[in-house]
Structure 1
Amino acid sequence: MTTPFSIAAPDLIALGYSPIPLIAPDAPHKGRGKAPGDWRSGAWQGLSRWQRFRDGPPSSFEMNLWLKAPSANVGIVMGTPAGRDAEGEPLFVIGIDFDAADPDALDTLLGASPFSPMVKRGQKGETRLFRARKTIKTAVYDGPDGRLIDLLAGFDTRQTVVPPSVHPDTGAAYVWTAGPVPAEQLPVFTEDDLAVLEEALETCGWERNRTRAATDRPRKPAPAEIDPDDLWSEVKAAAMGNLSAWVPHLDLYGLRKARGGYECVEAWRPSSTGRLLADRKLNLSIQPDGIKDWGSNNTYSSIDLVMAARNCDQHEATDWLRERLDLKDEGVVIDLAAMLARSKRSDMGGWDDDLPEPLRAVAPKYGKIPHLEAQKPAVSGFDVGAQLSAPIGQLPSTEFPDHLTRVPGLVGKITDWICDSSRKPQRGGALLAALTLVGTAAGRRYAGPTLTGTHLYGLFLAPSGAAKDHPLKCCGRILHASTMGQHFGPSGFMSMSALINRLTRQPLTLTCIDEFGSFLGRINGKRASTHEKAITGVLRTAWGSSFDTMAPPEWAGRVGEPIHSPALSLYSVSTHQEFFDNLEGGDVYNGFLNRFLLVSTQRKVEEREPSADKMVVPESITKGMLAIYGGGNPLARATSHSSLSDAPEIIVPWEDGVGSSAHRVYQGLAQDVERREHEAAFLARTVEMAQRLAVIRAVGINPAAPCVTVEDMEWGRQIALWSAERMMTDAQDYMAETQTQRDAMQVLRLIRDRGPLKHRDLARALQHKMRPRDLQDTIKSLEDAGQVVVSEGDRPPSGGHRPKVYAAA
């Protein structure tokens, strides 16, 4: 099948760009022709999380699907790395879209722009491609008659349609008027070039620090941009098209009409110049084409503004806007039974694998999906899990998201090598091993912006036979190859004293524990000694002792020596059933469980021939580990890794400082977690976990001068939330206080994951572990609790009784 995407994508990749498919121009979709799209089940959908392809290419599987998508247009993701400038600073692909409708204005702007050897033209104007430093940001420039220029950069990430795509309105193909050329041959667009272009924009009617020229008459808003991955696009668009219906009701300080919209003071933030509220300027501009505070450079959607002004969460803000805009609450209706019936992957994952793509796309991004009330059933009488039911929007897939394993820097290199050297690669487990390795190399030397450490307790859960042991073995190989073998800890601890002895001798330790569920069973068992039971308490204390002194207990014959800056990391593996069977209810509420970063899968990977030698660690990995650990600087190593070290050598800052975009992601996550008080047992350490992950990623990218970017923090946020919410769901699915509850949970999981099931198929799935009478009693109990629906199937062709069929309610 020949499509614009299939024609252009291979050449664009060879030139160093990141092409993505765009929805076909003739598709019945709001984003037709221009929005990133995915062809699934015979229809176009928005391509979720497409911004990730800025930092790394799609998998061969994704590319094969894209090449087969009918009539797919093609776009280039902005922000793709494209070499360095003369000063060694990294450069990224950007585009400047010249949209001025007036011919004279267009000529003026084109004349003020540098030459580019790569230019495309669509319906009007043209787009020129350049390279630029990260300081060149995405921006919109409007004049009296509308849009003049769109500056498309990777920060925030944008994409641009390229030839031979077909324009959805004219039916004509986009064309290259120059180029294309390799990305690293694009000229560099500098801050000086931007200053010259902005001077020309002013001559065309653009007002600096304003989104539109001043006018007293209301102006028709520009068409709202539709985000195919955003369930709230229509609410936001309606709000921006009718500002008067809701803005005056927010009680904004100093609000007054201005330029077809409003302006006021952003009273919820402090003055950057220390002025009293009454003396502050009206810097918050609320216009039909956007909301921005020119004092802090913050931008808002309509929902964001309501959340800030009313100090409420997204759900409440959306409901408030709907009421003011008189929008009908149509909600979201999901037929779970129908999804189960038509599931094509029910043997590989949970029921939410078949959620519509927009719901799956936003689930990691938002806490609750408004007006979505379907909830996951809880087992009757299960005290530990009684409060764990969560809306669908909070239930992550049983499979760890693959795109989160595609990481720049050393973490990504280690993940890829572990997978390349495995016969049954598990990318989630490989990523977790990479994180604990880089976190160990950085331990006691690097600290996050809030002085958190980089040590992690990683937990990889997978079925038996899913090759869980390969990443575990790679941890030791990498540490020894990187001359860090002294930090490779034992395979377990027989008692609290053994654990304390290890931390006293070597505060920086990575311990890999196979069959972690069995280890928990031993230390939590009825016959466990006092010293065995105390192991979890020491682990809890050590996790939170970043750059603090840990005072261990004393016992007869031994003096408890202070442990300075303990940095113990764990990489542990187990099956789901074994881990949760041996977990106690107290481990949920005392904070032991929420200290673990969970990565899980239900999938067994097919065996294949490795492309890398598992016995030979690549030099790029060993050098990368050493660069973090201390490199060739013996003094730095001796200082950071001495037993008395109690302060970090390097504090990794937020990129652009406190109040930056990265810092706001961190603060936003903290606010979200704080609002979910009833889930505190699982979310209490999610914020710190997210920051640790972001710091590890940042250190792996640039050990010499790391900083936490918004991309680092957003990636860490998504992983930490996925982990906490998966742990929450699995705890409800697996933990039980009696064998009866355990049997009921197993039956319910099978019916939910594989159902509807005939009685015969359910018995086979249980491998006849339950007696027929016990199975019947369990089904009856679940039916009485309203968790399972029992019906009769079709009569067999040979006659006889109609079989019983079980489906999740």
Structure 2
Amino acid sequence: MEAAQDFMARFGARLVDNGYPAIPIWPGSKKPGRFQAGAWCDYPAWTRHCDRPTTLIEVETWATWPDAAIGLACGTLVGIDIDVLDPDIAHRLERLARDMLGDTPLLRIGKAPKRLLVYRADVPFSGPKRAPLEILAHGRQFVAFAIHPDTGQPYVWPEDSPLTVALDDLPVVTEDSVRAWLEAAIALLPTELRPATLESPAASMPSTSPQRGTLAAVRSALAHIPNADLDYDSWVRIGMAVKGAIGEEGASLFAAWSAMSAKDVPATTANAWASFRPTTIGAGTIYHFAMERGWQPDPVLVLDGSTPQDEVHPAAGLLAKLAATPAEPTPTVQPFDLTIPDGVLGDMVTYMLATARRPQPELSLGASLCAIGALMGRKYRTESNLRSNLYVIALADSGSGKNHSREIINELFFEAGLAQYLGGNKIASGAGLLTALHRQPAMLLQIDEFGMFLEGIADRKRSPRHLTEILDNMTELYTSAGGVFLGAEYANRDGKNERRDINQPCLCVYGTTAPTRFWNALQSANVVDGSLARFIVIASGNQYPDENNDTGIRSAPPALIKSLKLIATGGGRMAAGNLSGLTADPTTAVDPMTVPMDARAKAIFRDLSRDITVRLREALGTPFTPILARISENATRVALIRAVSSDPVTPVIRADDAEWAIQFVSTCADRTMVEIDRHVADNDIERNHKRIMEIIRGSGPSGISKTKLTQDSRFLEARPRNEILATLMEAGMITLAMRATATKPVMVYMACEWRAP
């Protein structure tokens, strides 16, 4: 066998430049892998690359892994896999694909005459498999550059390759067109090669969670699944599901089902059964296939094998389950008891809450942190030169009172003579943002409907460059607060287009938006490239708190106004008035006060650093590493603001500041990662999966009937809805359960997280 080569180091960057979703392949195999702790291991999260481009940072990391081969994740990319060893038949099938789907320039050969043709899908879809033919579509991958494990030779691209042809230049196919090719191709196969398969949308989907069943329920369901000479993959799938559902007790059941086929060989069936090691498939698969074919389980059947069963009455287990109170799911985020700190920060939050029609403590705290951070700009820094520039997004539904904190900040700043720190309510362009900061290097931007704003600045495919530059500039400004931000160079330097540098810019951003609008505006790329990681995302703890009927005309507390002015002058070190925070030239150096950190606070942050390192290693290969990596930095900024708000003249970051800031930022980060996993999607297919999952999850431990689910998901037609349910079932995210009603028990879908252990 030919020695392995560093394919990723040689070709990875070029593939990314051409738009391909490259992934690392375990050397000597065909499966994705990652190199960890000195050895190659599985990469279970590789499917996220089906929904977003691979980044150069990822490729640079993978290029350091020894002998890393390259695969391509399918989603936008589609592979037509012709796994036929007869050269004439393989050639005819290839010719048929080129005639029906387009003359693609990309043909890959692994073990000739088998071949794979590569196309592009504008709208990703799930591809069927009818061995020996397979559509490698969303959720699948194929090897592009590696040593073939059977031939010992590199995979070959006889004509062009992904290194020379951009993804956007490939012919476009649709789900209907590839299915049409598949049906026509099967007709060209000799009878002995034509597959019989369980044509279920879930048949090619991976599963990640087991589900126990009962012998009676599995036997009843299996009777509705025909075995008319099924293809090998479907046969194995049923066997694995039976064994996963009821263990060795299902051996005779599977043998009897397998014997229904003329192709059955009892010895082969027995050997296959002994080799099955199901860990991620079980009763849910059997039940789903059976229900697709008309199975309606008798209400006395116990479906969940993990439920204790009464030996006397077959319905006793079910009745006990229905009568029991379902266990609460294990929380994915540790609870955070929000406490309002002392000092100017606490005074500002308290004033906001006292004057609000609907008090929102979380939102008031986020707005106050940004406001005080802007006033501190260019006047205070930590010993590691971090500044008080914060980006905060506050999530609350319409009508919940999310505008109040912004209004209070405007009033306070105007009354204190600090209005120059307030930026406009809108940003028209990236250049406009830099012009504003050049005029006022320490600035607070308060943006309403931030989700709508984010849709425009984050969509690099459809938004104009002057809008996407806003997010680029915000990302760079975040890390430039302790140094010099160098402006853009222009070809025509005529006085209007001079480069504008900003020394130690301090941009604070406070945005408010409805949760749904915000999460729908995000794409995975915003998570991976780190732009979202710079934001602290705060959610309202009570969307609609009781109204405060005592609000009216208000007057800011004089002590609060005085304290804000003191912070704006750096604890009295700088001149007050509307020139505070400015210099004669924004490029002139400034000398901020260094705020020390006591020994206990340093020890707390050292512990945090060790914890974050452990979590980063555990999250390697996931989109959450940028968020985890920013927790310590954001917590230090928040601790700095809290320390200065307590004592603007001689501030010190103490243990209380460190603990409070770390708990606050960590909780926000954990909740953000949970919401990203639940909501963020790059295409309609993934978005619909997550919307259906949220509907089922929102029904709680009682579950939701198919009728109610259909009513709540009228945005989908029946076929895609059923496909999504099949996928969620196979992925172990939902399960079937029985729910008592006034008349008779009904079948419901329930999120697995609600299932009692």
How many residues of Structure 1 are paired with residues of Structure 2 in the alignment? 420
Which residue in the other structure is 1:736 paired with?
681
Q: Looking at secondary structure, tell me which structure has more helix per residue.
A: 2
* Percentage identity across paired residues of the two chains: 24
CA pair 667-634 structure 1, distance change in 2 beyond 3 A: closer
Contact 1:516/1:579 (8 A) holds in 2: yes
Contact 2:357/2:551 (8 A) holds in 1: no
Mean Cα deviation higher: 593-602 or 512-521 = 593-602
Contact 2:322/2:739 (8 A) holds in 1: no
Alignment of 1:155-554 (within 5 A): 392=332, 395-397=333-335, 401=336, 403-525=337-459, 526-554=461-489
CA pair 455-599 structure 1, distance change in 2 beyond 3 A: same
Contact 2:679/2:690 (8 A) holds in 1: yes
State the Cα distance separating 1:764 from its structure 2 match.
8.2
2:692 is the counterpart of 1:747 = yes
Contact 2:697/2:750 (8 A) holds in 1: no
Which residue in the other structure is 1:788 paired with?
734
Contact 2:441/2:581 (8 A) holds in 1: no
Q: Which amino acid aligns with 2:575?
A: L
Tell me the C-alpha RMSD between the 2 structures: 3.0
Q: Secondary structure at the match of 1:740?
A: helix
2:527 is the counterpart of 1:581 = no
Which residue in the other structure is 2:659 paired with?
714
Listed one character per residue, the Cα deviations across residues 63-93 of structure 1 (whole Å, up to 9, x for unaligned) are xxxxxxxxxxxxxxxxxxxxxxxxxxxxxxx
Q: Which amino acid aligns with 2:582?
A: H
Q: Secondary structure at the match of 2:575?
A: helix
Q: Which amino acid aligns with 1:654?
A: M
- Unpaired stretches in structure 1, ≥5 consecutive residues: 1-332, 356-391
Contact 1:422/1:610 (8 A) holds in 2: no
CA pair 411-610 structure 1, distance change in 2 beyond 3 A: farther
State the Cα distance separating 1:628 from its structure 2 match.
0.7
Q: Which amino acid aligns with 1:595?
A: R
CA pair 492-762 structure 1, distance change in 2 beyond 3 A: farther
CA pair 768-405 structure 1, distance change in 2 beyond 3 A: farther
State the Cα distance separating 1:766 from its structure 2 match.
3.2
Alignment of 1:62-77 (within 5 A): none
Question: Aligned equivalents of 1:684 and 1:748: distance in 2?
Answer: 29
CA pair 645-665 structure 1, distance change in 2 beyond 3 A: farther
Question: Aligned equivalents of 1:339 and 1:428: distance in 2?
Answer: 38
Question: Aligned equivalents of 2:359 and 2:347: distance in 1?
Answer: 14
Structure number with the bigger relative contact order (C-alpha 8 A, sep ≥ 6) is 2
2:503 is the counterpart of 1:568 = no
Contact 1:433/1:472 (8 A) holds in 2: yes
Listed one character per residue, the Cα deviations across residues 235-273 of structure 1 (whole Å, up to 9, x for unaligned) are xxxxxxxxxxxxxxxxxxxxxxxxxxxxxxxxxxxxxxx
CA pair 761-560 structure 1, distance change in 2 beyond 3 A: farther
CA pair 578-714 structure 1, distance change in 2 beyond 3 A: same
Q: Which amino acid aligns with 2:443?
A: T
Which residue in the other structure is 1:777 paired with?
723
Question: Aligned equivalents of 2:423 and 2:371: distance in 1?
Answer: 12
Question: Aligned equivalents of 1:484 and 1:610: distance in 2?
Answer: 30
Question: Aligned equivalents of 2:397 and 2:343: distance in 1?
Answer: 30
Which residue in the other structure is 1:147 paired with?
none
Mean Cα deviation higher: 585-594 or 463-472 = 463-472
Contact 1:640/1:648 (8 A) holds in 2: no
State the Cα distance separating 1:773 from its structure 2 match.
4.7
Q: Secondary structure at the match of 1:599?
A: strand
Which residue in the other structure is 1:651 paired with?
594
Question: Aligned equivalents of 1:621 and 1:675: distance in 2?
Answer: 42
Alignment of 1:8-23 (within 5 A): none
State the Cα distance separating 1:753 from its structure 2 match.
3.8
Q: Which amino acid aligns with 2:729?
A: E
State the Cα distance separating 1:612 from its structure 2 match.
4.9
Question: Aligned equivalents of 2:467 and 2:326: distance in 1?
Answer: 45
Alignment of 1:643-682 (within 5 A): 643-655=586-598, 660-677=599-616, 678=620, 679-682=624-627
Listed one character per residue, the Cα deviations across residues 453-508 of structure 1 (whole Å, up to 9, x for unaligned) are 11110111123332211112222122212211011001121211111111111111
State the Cα distance separating 1:632 from its structure 2 match.
6.7
Contact 1:595/1:685 (8 A) holds in 2: yes
Alignment of 1:85-100 (within 5 A): none
Q: Secondary structure at the match of 1:404?
A: coil
Which residue in the other structure is 1:804 paired with?
748
Contact 2:538/2:668 (8 A) holds in 1: yes
Question: Aligned equivalents of 1:695 and 1:688: distance in 2?
Answer: 11
Q: Secondary structure at the match of 2:508?
A: strand
Question: Aligned equivalents of 1:339 and 1:487: distance in 2?
Answer: 60
Question: Aligned equivalents of 1:523 and 1:534: distance in 2?
Answer: 7
Contact 2:438/2:500 (8 A) holds in 1: yes
Question: Aligned equivalents of 2:537 and 2:741: distance in 1?
Answer: 45
2:575 to 635, 649, 663: 635
CA pair 804-754 structure 1, distance change in 2 beyond 3 A: closer
Q: Secondary structure at the match of 2:338?
A: helix
CA pair 339-509 structure 1, distance change in 2 beyond 3 A: farther
CA pair 614-624 structure 1, distance change in 2 beyond 3 A: farther
Q: Which amino acid aligns with 1:697?
A: R
Q: Which amino acid aligns with 1:714?
A: E
Q: Secondary structure at the match of 1:676?
A: helix
Q: Which amino acid aligns with 1:641?
A: L
Question: Aligned equivalents of 2:437 and 2:545: distance in 1?
Answer: 39
Question: Aligned equivalents of 1:653 and 1:486: distance in 2?
Answer: 29
Q: Secondary structure at the match of 1:459?
A: strand
Which residue in the other structure is 2:629 paired with?
684
Question: Aligned equivalents of 2:551 and 2:656: distance in 1?
Answer: 30
1:608 to 540, 547, 555: 547
Listed one character per residue, the Cα deviations across residues 374-416 of structure 1 (whole Å, up to 9, x for unaligned) are xxxxxxxxxxxxxxxxxx4xx245xxx3x43421111111111
CA pair 481-743 structure 1, distance change in 2 beyond 3 A: same
Contact 1:422/1:614 (8 A) holds in 2: no
Contact 1:404/1:715 (8 A) holds in 2: no
2:712 to 766, 783, 788: 766
State the Cα distance separating 1:633 from its structure 2 match.
6.4
Question: Aligned equivalents of 1:806 and 1:644: distance in 2?
Answer: 60
State the Cα distance separating 1:613 from its structure 2 match.
4.3
Question: Aligned equivalents of 2:420 and 2:649: distance in 1?
Answer: 24
- Unpaired stretches in structure 2, ≥5 consecutive residues: 1-305, 309-320
Question: Aligned equivalents of 1:602 and 1:580: distance in 2?
Answer: 17
Question: Aligned equivalents of 2:518 and 2:324: distance in 1?
Answer: 30
Question: Aligned equivalents of 1:635 and 1:429: distance in 2?
Answer: 31
Alignment of 1:111-130 (within 5 A): none
State the Cα distance separating 1:802 from its structure 2 match.
2.8
State the Cα distance separating 1:518 from its structure 2 match.
0.5
Question: Aligned equivalents of 1:538 and 1:746: distance in 2?
Answer: 32
